[in-house]
Every structure is written in structure tokens, then in C-alpha cells.
Structure 1
Amino acid sequence: MATSERSATVKVGTRGSRLALGQTGQITDVLTAVGGFAAEIVTVRTDGDVLTGPLSQMGGTGVFAAALRAAVLDGRVDVAVHSLKDLPTAAVPGLALAAVPVRADSRDALCSRDGVTLAGLPAGATVGTGSPRRAAQLLAARPDLSIVDIRGNVDTRLGRVAGLPGNAPAGVVPGKTGDLDAVVLAAAGLSRIGRLNAVTEFLEADVMLPAPGQGALALECRTADTDPAGELGRALAAVDDADTRLSVTAERALLARLEAGCAAPVGALAHRKGSMLYLEAVVCSLDGTRSLRLKKATDGLTNVGATLLGIELAEELLAGGAADLADLAGSGK
């Protein structure tokens, strides 16, 4: 898309899941309202949608992003909409993270049968998640639980718990249904597809720190299209939220310094309050028996300041023995 010309249609790329299409539709409506251009949503199939097995063994979050990034670079789409937690931290030449809209709820949510809270689940209860981060923190809080690795879209995962509001009747959802006592999913994703009625309990940060970037969206485009002289560049700049960008910049800088992907049980959450940016992070052993949690703050409310905050907290985690808890390439070992 040339920055000096008006494009008849901006092509917005997304994965084809119900959640991805829903969140892409919402942000596309905002972009077109702000930018005054027409837009078309283009579905891109990713390796994460095709391959089977644990996500942590398939290349991690990058399996969802690579195909979308390729579609932007080769011109099939002008903008890719990612769940930010699925976007690898390494930059790609020719691409820019042009906008990070206002963050939705960053928390994880427990969806259990009979409305039982995490504390109320019986010993040996089966809880499904595909995230080592969630599994480790669940076991840290409740070592007597049985964690089951699961995959699939949001509705499929919710279908593993009998009786949740909005679930299809038994036997309609393909695969296993009703075989788990609970599942843990991102609150933001549940909200975006109208399934918050399935939530039994929102897990606060003192119990479960979210994945870096969780609840936020990332709008990625070709570097040339970020020019504010162009329609698309102006629209993307308008939907970018400064506080959200600062927060996720700190979280992703920490993740990058640790060189930890989705196979590493690392949680991080930053927020701005007044003149300060606060960052809290945790690194756990996979079995949840050991963890290291630290906090740090800065008054440097710039992207550079947020990046330094993430790097410095990562260094403190490494100095405190985080590499002995999880397989972190950033330890230099």
C-alpha cells in the first residue's frame, strides 16, 4: 500500500478461528471508522491451525505468527492482527508493530463444572491447559491437581467441561467432551467471543501472572506503511494506546532477555500508575514446586525506558537463579 495514495481496500489478515475472526472484525471496524477507507478481512491458515500435539513442542507461539507475517511481507494483506502473546519477540525486517490497541482483561480465567473455584476443586481434580506457564502456577497453588494438556479452539476447550453455560450438547463437539473438571483460558479471549458466562473465577496476579502481552492485540504492517502521511499509517497511529504499548514493551523485553518462549513457565505483567511503570514477573519450575517472583519500577515512560525495565528485571531474575528453575536460553548456560 503506497503511503501517498488512497487504497480502495485495506486487506486485514487473521487466523480463521472464531476468536481471531471476532477480534479482527472488531479492530477492523475501528480502523475503517478512523481511517475512512474500506477494508477486507483475509483468512490466513497457520501451522498452529494445522499441526497437532502440544503447542510448546511445535515451535511455540511462532507457529501462529509466521504465516501471517509472510502474508504481510508478500503483499497478500496490508495489516496482520495477532494476539500479542502469540507474537515472537524477535523483530522481522520489513515489518513494524504499528499499533497496540487498549488492552483487554489480562487475567486468566478458571472455567469449572458446578461453579467450583480453584480453592474449592477437590484433590485430584483434572484441569486442562496447553500452557506450561498456567500449569506451573496452578500446581504452585494446588499441587494436588492433575493437569491435562489440551489443544483446540476456545469452544472445544470449554466443551471438555460438562455443564458450562453455552456449551454444545454432549456428543456435538468433536473429540473428547465433558471429561475434565475445569479448564483455564484467557479472560480476554472469552470476552471477545461472548463466553464470559463460562467463567467460574478470574485468577488474580498473585495466583497466576499472565503471559507477556496477554489481553492485548498487535497490529503489524510493512514498515513503509507506518508513515503518518498515509491513510493506513494515520489510522494505525490513532488506535495505538501509549500505556498499553509501554506495558507490553516491558513484558516482551523481559521475555526476550530471558530468551523464553511459550515452553518456559514465565509470567509477566506491567502497568502504568501515575508517573511510574511497574513490572512484576515470575519464573516457575514446570512442576510448580519452585518459583521466583520479582517486581521493579521505572519513571522512564518511554519505549526505551520500558525496554530497560524489562531487561533489568530479567537480569535480576537470572541472578536470582531463574535459569535453574526453567530452561532459559538467556542465562548464557
Structure 2
Amino acid sequence: MTNLRIGTRRSLLATTQSGHVADALEALGTPTELVEITTDGDRSQASGVSLVGAPSTGVFVSALRDALLAGEVDVAVHSLKDLPTYATEGIALAAVPPREDPRDVVVARDGLTLGELPQGSKVATGSPRRVAQIEALGLGVELVGVRGNVDTRIGRIAEGTYDAVVLARAGLARLGRLDEVTEVLDPLQVLPAPGQGALAVECRADDTETLALLARLDDPGTHAAVTAERTLMATLEGGCAAPIGALAEVAEGDDGPELWLRAVVLSEDGALAVRRSASAALGTDPTTWPAEAAKLGGDLGAEMLADGGDELMTQLRDAQSSTPEPNDPPSARSAEVHNP
């Protein structure tokens, strides 16, 4: 039996995530090998070049998909929050495995939480979503931009460059570094990015054998949750660099499984926000859950647009169209598209 070739980015986090998928496939009796692919996003990080001016989604995805379509790999593994919300011809999302905890976390000096940091402390994040929601908390901290992998970001605290960094808990969990977390942020205060904590496993749409194999890795609850979140983001016409937070969770209701979705879209400074929630019955047949989840996300997104989200998104697009030139100093708004 030939090895199933799994395409992955070269970073430690990416290869670790792809290794989890490989292990799951090995457990099903399928031999695998990891094939490392360098993406445009990786080259930008390695050279220290800002991703300002790059498309707001897909900079870490396209090279893996190109390798997949060229037959260089059989499977591609992505952080699902990096995926564009539109379909790519010839590519199928074959599986969304069980999700890690999707919340954001703080790693701060001296074991401090955000609320314990003195006013003026430098808190680093490359995510406009995190910036807007933390600004809205009114803590008086200074939000600054940051690039680089987890090691680089956390290392800046020891160097004294920053007082804290904000990261996705899932990445630290997969790297075995949760002991460095000083605070887990409550989604009531900071909603995660749509799809955060989940992996996307793709293959060629006409590869029926691999599609069937990968389907065994799919978790229906996770798949439904991220479908709702990403459909909401698509309805708002926001990419992964927009200040949009969303979190869906499956819960057991009186009449069976239900999907609960919370979402927020904010101005860049967090001063304005449209925050809404909704739920829907999923039914007992998991094969129908994606359609129900997509309807929930689309309906809630449309409600948010009607309640002021449309104006907010227009303001955000206007602001992004006047983004500084690539040689300008990075800001927390534009420092990086991909945010661990």
C-alpha cells in the first residue's frame, strides 16, 4: 500500500496539526507521510515582510491547494480559520475533526491577567478581532502588532518587548505549552475567530477513495458549528482579518440536538459593535446538520447586517482600502493575517 501524502505548512504548529491527522489515519490502517510545502504567508513571515496589501484570506492556503491539484499531495491540512469562505473548484472539504478549545488566551509577564496589567502595558496581537474586543474592555493597555510563530511571540515577553501576547488556546494545546497560559479569555468578553480551534482536511473533489477515507475523521458537531460560524462571516462579507468573532456550540435541547451561535462585528477601535445570538434545532440525522447550520449562520448574519452591521462593514472596508504601504511600520490592525 502506498503512503497517503499529507501536505502541510512547514511551521512547527502546522506539522504538529498535520501529524494529528496522520496519526488518526494510521489508526485506521492507512500509512501516511508528511510533505512540507512553503506558502506565501510563510515566506512573508520568514523575510519579515508585512502582509499588508495581501488578500485578507487564503495566504497560507493557496500553495497547499496548488500542490493538491497538481497531484503532489493527496491531502491538505489547514487551520480552518485560515480557509477562505468561498469554494475552490476541484477541492473538497472532506473532514473537520473534533475541535480543540476555541478560546483565546493570554500569556503575560509575572503570571498576570489582562485586568491585572498596569495601564499602558504593551499587549501584542496580530488580530484586528482581538484588538477591537480588548479595546472595548477599556483596560487602558496598549495594543501593538506582532508577527512570527508562537516561540517568537512568547519570547518577546521574556525580552521585555511586550508585557503580554494574546494567542489561540488551541495552538498552545497542540504544542503542549498550556502551562505558559496566564488567563483564558471568556467568550462573553472576547469571542474567538470563526473556525478557531478546528482543522480542515481537504482532498481533490474527484478522489472518491480518499474522500470516503477522510469522512471517517469528520466530527458532525464540530463540522456543523464551524459551518454556522463561517456562513455568518461570509454573509457579513468579512475575511479572517476583519474584527468578527463567532462561536457555535452543539447542545442537547428538549427535542434533540440544538446549535447555538453567538457573534459580534466591531469597529476597529471596539467603540461600536453589533452583537447577536441565535439557535436552531439540528434534528437527529447528522447528515442534515450542515444545511441547518448554514441557514442559522446566514440568517444571523443577515440580521446583524440589518441591525447596523452593514454600516460597520462598509466602514471597515473603507479603512482597509486606505491601509499603509507595506514599508510602513506594522500595526495591530495589519501586522499579520494568520493569527495563532
Cα RMSD (Å):
1.4
Distance 1:131 1:54, change over 3 A: farther
Whether 1:293 and 2:271 are equivalent positions in the alignment is no
Whether 1:265 and 2:243 are equivalent positions in the alignment is yes
Alpha carbons 2:25, 2:31 under 8 Å: kept: no
Q: Secondary structure at the match of 1:297?
A: strand
Equivalent position amino acid for 2:75 in 1: V
**Which of 72, 75, 89 is the equivalent residue of 2:71?**
75
**Which of 118, 121, 129 is the equivalent residue of 2:117?**
121
How far the C-alpha of 1:53 sits from its partner, in A, is 4.4
Q: Secondary structure at the match of 1:119?
A: helix
CA distance in structure 2 between the aligned counterparts of 1:56 and 1:272, rounded to whole angstroms: 36
1:145-184 paired onto structure 2 within 5 Å: 145-162=141-158, 177-184=159-166
How far the C-alpha of 1:224 sits from its partner, in A, is 1.8
How far the C-alpha of 1:319 sits from its partner, in A, is 0.6
Would you identify which runs of 4 or more consecutive aligned residues in structure 1 move more than 2 Å? 52-58, 232-235, 323-329
How far the C-alpha of 1:249 sits from its partner, in A, is 0.4
How far the C-alpha of 1:264 sits from its partner, in A, is 1.2
How far the C-alpha of 1:197 sits from its partner, in A, is 1.3
Whether 1:30 and 2:32 are equivalent positions in the alignment is no
Distance 1:69 1:76, change over 3 A: same
CA distance in structure 1 between the aligned counterparts of 2:308 and 2:52, rounded to whole angstroms: 23
Distance 1:102 1:267, change over 3 A: same
How far the C-alpha of 1:318 sits from its partner, in A, is 0.5
Farther off after superposition, 256-265 or 105-114: 256-265
CA distance in structure 2 between the aligned counterparts of 1:125 and 1:326, rounded to whole angstroms: 30
Distance 1:294 1:53, change over 3 A: farther
Q: For residue 170 of structure 1, what is the aligned residue in structure 2?
A: none
1:1-333 paired onto structure 2 within 5 Å: 8-34=2-28, 36-51=29-44, 52-55=48-51, 57-162=53-158, 177-225=159-207, 227=208, 230=209, 232-274=210-252, 275-301=257-283, 302-327=289-314
CA distance in structure 2 between the aligned counterparts of 1:54 and 1:190, rounded to whole angstroms: 24
Give % identity. 52
Q: Map Cα deviations across residues 26-75 of structure 1 (whole Å, 9 max, x no partner).
A: 110111211x2221100010010012444464222310001011111110
Alpha carbons 2:115, 2:139 under 8 Å: kept: no
Alpha carbons 1:102, 1:241 under 8 Å: kept: yes
CA distance in structure 1 between the aligned counterparts of 2:143 and 2:117, rounded to whole angstroms: 13
Alpha carbons 2:236, 2:313 under 8 Å: kept: no
Alpha carbons 1:54, 1:149 under 8 Å: kept: no
Total equivalences in the alignment? 304
TM-score normalised by L of structure 1: 0.88
Q: Map Cα deviations across residues 59-96 of structure 1 (whole Å, 9 max, x no partner).
A: 22310001011111110000000000011111001110
Q: Secondary structure at the match of 2:156?
A: coil
CA distance in structure 2 between the aligned counterparts of 1:270 and 1:57, rounded to whole angstroms: 31
CA distance in structure 1 between the aligned counterparts of 2:57 and 2:205, rounded to whole angstroms: 22
Q: Secondary structure at the match of 1:161?
A: helix
Alpha carbons 2:168, 2:197 under 8 Å: kept: yes
Q: Secondary structure at the match of 1:320?
A: helix
Equivalent position amino acid for 2:41 in 1: G
CA distance in structure 2 between the aligned counterparts of 1:117 and 1:161, rounded to whole angstroms: 14
CA distance in structure 2 between the aligned counterparts of 1:148 and 1:197, rounded to whole angstroms: 24
Alpha carbons 1:80, 1:219 under 8 Å: kept: yes
Q: Secondary structure at the match of 2:27?
A: helix
CA distance in structure 2 between the aligned counterparts of 1:280 and 1:57, rounded to whole angstroms: 30
CA distance in structure 2 between the aligned counterparts of 1:262 and 1:237, rounded to whole angstroms: 26
Alpha carbons 1:22, 1:193 under 8 Å: kept: yes
Equivalent position amino acid for 1:137 in 2: Q
Segments of 5+ residues of structure 2 without an aligned counterpart are 284-288, 318-340
Segments of 5+ residues of structure 1 without an aligned counterpart are 1-6, 163-176
CA distance in structure 1 between the aligned counterparts of 2:195 and 2:52, rounded to whole angstroms: 17
Q: Map Cα deviations across residues 270-304 of structure 1 (whole Å, 9 max, x no partner).
A: 01101211100000110111111100111145211
How far the C-alpha of 1:320 sits from its partner, in A, is 0.8
Alpha carbons 1:285, 1:291 under 8 Å: kept: yes
